Amino acid sequence: MSAVEIDNLRYAYPPLWAGGASVEVLRGLSLTVERGEFLALMGPTGVGKSTLLMALNGIVPQSTGGVISGRVTVLGADSRGTPVAELARRVGIVYQDAESQLFSTTVEDEVAFGPENLGVDPREIAERVAWALDVVDMAAHRGRAPSQLSGGQKQRVAIAATLAMLPEVLVLDEPTAALDPLGQREVLAVVEKLCSERRATIIMASHDAEQVAEFADRVAVMVEGRIARADEPLRVFEDADLLACAGLAAPQVCEVALGLNQRLGTRYSFATLDAAAEALGEEAAGSGVRVPGRMGYRLQAPGYTGVLTPSPRTRGEPQYSGARVGGEGSLSPSPCTRGEGRGEGSATIRVEALTHQYDETSTARNGIDLTIGDNAYLAIIGQNGSGKTTLVKHFNGLLKPGSGHVWVEGVDTRTTSVGRLARRVGYVFQNPDHQIFGATVREEVGFGPRNLGLSPAEVRERTDEALAAFDLTAHAEAPPAVLGYGLRRKVSLAAVFAMRPHILILDEPTAGMDARSTADLMARVDAMHRAGHTIILVTHDMRLAAEHCHQVLVMHEGRALAYGPTREVFCRSDDLALAQLAPPQAGQLARRLELQGMPCDVLTTDEFVAAYAALGAATQGGQP
């Protein structure tokens, strides 16, 4: 018997408002998952992945209502006819939002909650709690309050709480979407452990192709409420038509394989970093490439503008604090740095000896010196709690310096109100729901301009412009709170865009969004940068930072650990390691092939392909 059998499942949510139409999400979906299999579920935002997962434990339709047809069988039980609480013995589900699934006052009470509801003997509950916390490596935290845990720890506790019910099928709904890189690694380590040691049946929805390729036995891709294809990760990620249709991105190493095959006529086929390193490393080693030392070797290949080794100043220099990027007399970007000559000139934000401390128990953000040039495109990266948000909240005056100064376009933030700074600095918060309150999208977008005291005509003009810029005109009269996540994200961005700030701060703008929505959103942000705005991106997505931003600031334990042009910062492996960060997959792959002569400052797929082709040409003494 299969673990899960879904046959021709159709489901529509009840109307969102009286008189509205039902919202059809699943449209004749069929899928089978075998016992002990790890199935990854992928698809664009809003395609119905969460709905499908909730159908497995009966929440859909038993709690949500709506119209359902077709059949969902989990370990022989019909999920529509079996009470949710009864199904919970067999199907454990971990949701994306860690905050709203931990409701007890301590970690151990949280883990015990499920077995208590199932009437398990207290002595056995104690054993299960100890075991489950041990599996997720949280035993040392059993007495702590969930509110005191990091995002990754919370998600691990949520997994432990589900495991303690001894489910035969574990369902994970984008468990790492809201986590920093460290939290993602913590959760994935647990998933890997469950797969390798316990052969658990796992169904995990995810947008992260690299994670999926690493762990999943099979990938099911959802398009328009149906499974378009369910196959091995490598086969799925090589299906370019399918990925284009579903708006998904393949792991970067798959794109590397495709690029190499197109350029060199090779037949590489890999989906994981290890497989790529093995295939390309053996190839390079087989070609007899041996570099005399690791330094001092420069490649100039068509399409590749990077240097083989970082410039001397990127090695051994203690820090970039106080460095000025893109401006006159600055630490000038190396010739290969993207963004060169794009007017990233005079300082727009200047931070001098900034310290901030929330209260006497928190860590002070000590002595940050920073200059951000006009029209800069800066990514601020670092783990949660490293001080990224604290720093950028000083740029629009939400936080005032404990000591030191912050000047924004020459204005001292200490003596200027948040409202006045809002004319210059726009701040899009991570969660769109933290700013959405309007009855219509139009009202929401016009809120900022109205607060600026503009005339009704100008408010209308700016609102219309912002709605058009973010393709929201068709939704102008809809209530924003009931729109899908991707649209709500656009509304929050349009609402800030309408205020026409010169400096735009975006906090995790693409978290939880699929590749197509991400590309769409970033195209608009890129356009704003081209129009002369200064863009500051707070992100955990290294690939996003590498592909879009011209400078990177690494925050670690409240201080600026590294600051400089993107390529140079991503070459500072010691600093990245200290901040527990890693460059994008192409960069990691290049670094793994460094001994074979690959330059370590590669950031994008195209750069990798060009550098690898050039490596072959250099070895053979000819052109690629």
Window 377-396: residues binding other proteins (CB under 8 A): 393, 396
* Burial class of residue 291, CB neighbours in 10 A (0-12, 13-18, 19+): middle
Helix intervals (H) in 84-180: 84-87, 107-117, 122-135, 151-163
Our CB check for other proteins shows the closer of 197 and 359 to be 359
Site string for other proteins, 461-490 (x = CB under 8 A): --------------------x---------
Phi and psi torsions of 437, nearest 5°? -145, -15
Cβ count within 10 A of residue 22: 13
Which helix (H) or strand (E) element contains residue 305?
none
> In the set 102, 560, 600, 609, which binds other proteins (CB under 8 A)?
102
Rule CB under 8 A: say whether 582 interacts with other proteins: no
> In the set 61, 146, 152, 564, which binds other proteins (CB under 8 A)?
146
Total residues at the site for other proteins (CB under 8 A)? Answer: 73
> In the set 8, 117, 196, 620, which binds other proteins (CB under 8 A)?
117
Rule CB under 8 A: say whether 120 interacts with other proteins: yes
Site string for other proteins, 409-428 (x = CB under 8 A): --------xxx--xx-xxx-
Rule CB under 8 A: say whether 519 interacts with other proteins: no
Rule CB under 8 A: say whether 134 interacts with other proteins: no
Rule CB under 8 A: say whether 262 interacts with other proteins: no
Window 530-569: residues binding other proteins (CB under 8 A): none
- Cα(94)–Cα(92) distance, rounded to whole angstroms? 7
Instruction: Report how far Cα 29 is from the mean position of its chain's Cα atoms.
Output: 28
Q: Which two tokens stand for residue 366?
A: 């000590």
> In the set 259, 306, 448, 599, which binds other proteins (CB under 8 A)?
448
Least distance in angstroms from the C-beta of 81 to other proteins: 15
SS3 state of residue 345: coil
- Cα(216)–Cα(220) distance, rounded to whole angstroms? 10
Cβ count within 10 A of residue 403: 13
Rule CB under 8 A: say whether 455 interacts with other proteins: no
> In the set 25, 26, 52, 165, which binds other proteins (CB under 8 A)?
165
Query: Interface with other proteins by CB under 8 A: which range of 72-80, 375-383, 432-440, 607-615?
Result: 432-440
Site string for other proteins, 24-63 (x = CB under 8 A): ------------------------------x--x-x---x
> In the set 68, 284, 499, 554, which binds other proteins (CB under 8 A)?
499
Which amino acid is located at 357 in the chain? Q
> In the set 451, 484, 527, 623, which binds other proteins (CB under 8 A)?
451
SS3 state of residue 474: helix
Bond into 83 cis (ω within 30) = no
SS3 state of residue 243: helix
> In the set 7, 78, 86, 282, which binds other proteins (CB under 8 A)?
86
Instruction: Report how far Cα 536 is from the mean position of its chain's Cα atoms.
Output: 16
Burial 29-39 (b: 16+ CB within 10 A, else e): bebbbeeebbb
